[in-house]
Structure 1
C-alpha cells in the first residue's frame, strides 16, 4: 500500500468519525432547550444526592461536601427570585453585546470590509492561518475579548481569501480558547490569578512558600509556538479539507470580497486610520504617565512582581470591552462619513440596531445557559466531581511522570463540567498542590500541568460560557450548524493539543528548562 493511499484511508476514517459526531451532536435539542433540560437533570440529581453523606472536604469551607437539593422550597424560591439577576449578570452577555455595538457600526459602514481587503491584498494566503491563531493567543491580554473579536473576524478573513469561513472560526477559536494558557510574550491577568491560588494551596502544607505570578511564563510563551503549529497543520490539512462539502448558505451580502478598493474607500480608510491613531495616542498618554495613571490597580490590589496595569483588578483590564467598543465605533463612524456610506447619525444608530438584531438567538441561548450554570454551581455537583477525581488520582500512587499526566487529564475532564479556570483550580489545586509537594513536585510544575489540561478541552465543552456564541457565529455562514458541528470541528484540535502539549511539558521537565520566573521543578527547591 502506498503512503498516499494509507494517508487517504486515515483521513477518510477521521472524516467519517467527525461526521458521525456532528450528526449525533446536531440531533440534540436546540442549544437553548438543551440547557433547559440539563438544568432539570441537575435539579433531579441534586434531589437524589442531597441526603447522601460524602467524605470529601470542600477546600472553600473545610466542611464535608453537601449536595444542595435544588427542588426544596427554599432553593426554588431563591432560583425564581434571582432569575433576572442571574441573566443580566451572566459575564459573557454584557461583554458580547457592548463589543458588538461598536463592531456593528464598523461593519455596517464598511470599515471592516475595506480594512480587511486592504490587509489581505498584501498578506500571503499561506500565512493567514498561523497569523490568525497567533492573534488569538495574543488576545488573552485583553481577557475575553478574543471571543467577540478574533473569532468572528477569523471567519470573515477566511471567506474573503476564498477559504471556508468555518475553518477560520475553528482556527481562531483554537488560538483564543484552546491556547488559553499560552502567552504571546505579554502575560495575561490569568497568570497572577492562578499563581495566587497556587500559593494559597501550597501554604496549606508549608506557610513559607511564595509563588511568583510569572512562575509559568517561559513555558506558556514557548507553548504559543506549539499551539500555532498544531493549529496551522490541523486547520490546513484536516479541518479545511473536511469542510469542502459543507455549503456556505448564510447571508453573504455583508461578507468581505476581494474587489479592489475604490477611491472613496481608500479615503475613508486613510481617515479612519488617523482616527484610530488619535484614539490610541490618547489611551497611551494616559497609561504611560508613571505613578499617576488612572488605569493602574491600587497598590494593595497588586501581588509582588506584577505590573499594576495587567492585574485583573486594574481599571485598564476591566475596561477592555469598552476600549474595543470605542476603537471600532470611532473609525467606523469616520470611515462612513468620509467614504459616503453613512449620511447622518441615524445611519450610525441603524448600524448598531442591525448588529443587535443578529444577537437575538444568542440572547435566548445565553438566558438558558446562565440559568443552567447557576443551578449547577448552587448544587455543588461540580465541586463533588472535581474533588472525587482529585482524590482518586491521589490514591492511585502513580510514578511522578504519570501523576503529572494524570493531573493534565483530570483537569481536562473537570473542565467539561466546571467552566471557570480559577474555580477549578481553587477546588482541585487545594488537593493536588500539597499532595505533589509531599512527593517532591513543586507548585509551579503542578500549576503548569493544570493549565495544559484546562486549555486543551475548553474548545469542546458546551459549558464554556462563550460556546453558544461560537455556535451563532457558525450559523451565520452555515445555517444548520449546531453543537455537533462545533464539537466535530474542534475535537481534533483538543485531542492533539492535549497529547502534544502534555509531552511538551514533560520535555521541559526532562530537560530542566525553567518554567518561568522564580520557578522550580522540585520541592523543596534545589539551591
Structure 2
C-alpha cells in the first residue's frame, strides 16, 4: 500500500538531547531504587508484605492487595521524575494535566460501567443468571465435551461477543454472572474461565470497531495512507487476530494439559484440590 500522507502530519522523531538522556537515567535509577526497596521489604524477617506464615505467594499476603498501587507507583514516580528533569514538567499543574489527558481514554469504560451496574442489579433480581447457569451446565454436561473443547468454545464465544462490546471490563461484567457459575457446576474453576475469557477478548480487539482506541488507530494510519478506513484496518489485522486466537488457545490447552499453574493460588478444577 503506497504511503501518500502529508509529511508534516507524520510523527517527527526529535534528536535525543543530553537533558533527555539525563532524565531517562534518573527515571531508571528511581525505578531501580523502588524495586530494591520492595525486594528488601519482601525478604526481611517478618516481612510486612507476607502473610502470617511468612509466605509471599499466598492470596492472603498483603502484597497481593498492593499490586495495583505498586504498579501505579512504579510508573508514576519515575514518570514524574523524568518530566521534571527533562523540563517537560515545571510545576504540579503540569503533572495533573498529563494525568488528566491520560485518563480521557477511560471515559468509555466509566459510561459502560454505569449501565453494566444497572444490568447486573436487574439481572441478579430476576434470578435469570441462576436459571441460565443451571440449564447451561446441564446442556454442556449432556454434550459430554472434553474440558479442552469446552474452554476453546468459551474462547471463541468471547472473541465473537468482543465484536459487539468493546470494553473488556464491561464485557466481563455482562457475561461473568452466567459463565462463571455455569462452569463451576461442571468442575471448572473461575481462574480457568477468566483465562479463557482473556484469550478470546484480547485476540479480537484489533478487529472490532467498538474498541475505544479503534478510531485513534485509524487516525494514525491515515497519517501515512489517507484512504485508510475501518475496512482497511480490519482486513489488514484479521490474519493476525486469527493467528493470535489459535495460538493462544493452544497455549491455554497446553498449560492445562501440562498442569502449569495459571498464577499464584490458582487452580483449574473447582473445588480446588487440597
Is it true that 1:277 corresponds to 2:25 in the alignment? yes
Paired position in structure 2 for 1:513: 260
- Given that 1:419 and 1:463 are in contact with CA atoms closer than 8 Å, whether structure 2 keeps it comes out as yes
Paired position in structure 1 for 2:201: 454
What are the within-5 Å matches in structure 2 for residues 173-322 of structure 1?
A: 246-253=1-8, 255=11, 269-282=17-30, 284-285=32-33, 288-289=36-37, 304-305=60-61, 307=63, 311-312=67-68, 314=69, 317=72, 320=75
Q: Which residue of 231, 245, 270 maps to 1:484?
A: 231
Query: 1:460-502: per-residue Cα shift (whole Å, max 9, x none)?
Result: 1222222222112112211222222221222111112112211
- Given that 2:207 and 2:241 are in contact with CA atoms closer than 8 Å, whether structure 1 keeps it comes out as yes
Q: How far apart in 1 are the matches of 2:77 and 2:210?
A: 26
Q: 1:513 to 1:304 in 2, by over 3 A?
A: same
- Given that 1:442 and 1:523 are in contact with CA atoms closer than 8 Å, whether structure 2 keeps it comes out as yes
Structure 1 residue 456, shift from structure 2 partner: 1.0
Structure 1 residue 444, shift from structure 2 partner: 2.3
Paired position in structure 2 for 1:406: 153
Secondary structure class of the residue paired with 2:235:
helix
Secondary structure class of the residue paired with 2:67:
coil
- Given that 1:445 and 1:521 are in contact with CA atoms closer than 8 Å, whether structure 2 keeps it comes out as yes
Q: How far apart in 1 are the matches of 2:113 and 2:264?
A: 37
- Given that 1:433 and 1:446 are in contact with CA atoms closer than 8 Å, whether structure 2 keeps it comes out as yes
Paired position in structure 2 for 1:463: 210
Q: How far apart in 2 are the matches of 1:481 and 1:375?
A: 33
Q: Unaligned stretches of 5+ in structure 2?
A: 42-48, 51-58, 95-100, 124-128
- Given that 2:112 and 2:170 are in contact with CA atoms closer than 8 Å, whether structure 1 keeps it comes out as no
- Given that 2:26 and 2:82 are in contact with CA atoms closer than 8 Å, whether structure 1 keeps it comes out as no
What are the within-5 Å matches in structure 2 for residues 103-122 of structure 1?
A: none
Secondary structure class of the residue paired with 1:249:
coil
Q: Unaligned stretches of 5+ in structure 1?
A: 1-245, 293-297, 334-344, 350-355, 357-362
What are the within-5 Å matches in structure 2 for residues 339-378 of structure 1?
A: none
Paired position in structure 1 for 2:164: 417
- Given that 1:440 and 1:523 are in contact with CA atoms closer than 8 Å, whether structure 2 keeps it comes out as yes
Q: 1:487 to 1:310 in 2, by over 3 A?
A: farther
Structure 1 residue 420, shift from structure 2 partner: 3.1
Higher relative contact order (CA 8 A, sep 6+): 1
Q: How far apart in 2 are the matches of 1:372 and 1:423?
A: 10
Report how many residues are paired: 231
- Given that 1:393 and 1:406 are in contact with CA atoms closer than 8 Å, whether structure 2 keeps it comes out as no
Secondary structure class of the residue paired with 1:490:
helix
Structure 1 residue 452, shift from structure 2 partner: 0.9
Q: CA RMSD in A?
A: 4.3
The TM-score with structure 2 as length reference comes to: 0.64
- Given that 2:26 and 2:81 are in contact with CA atoms closer than 8 Å, whether structure 1 keeps it comes out as no
Is it true that 1:498 corresponds to 2:253 in the alignment? no
- Given that 2:28 and 2:78 are in contact with CA atoms closer than 8 Å, whether structure 1 keeps it comes out as no
Q: How far apart in 2 are the matches of 1:250 and 1:325?
A: 34
The TM-score with structure 1 as length reference comes to: 0.36
Q: How far apart in 2 are the matches of 1:277 and 1:429?
A: 44
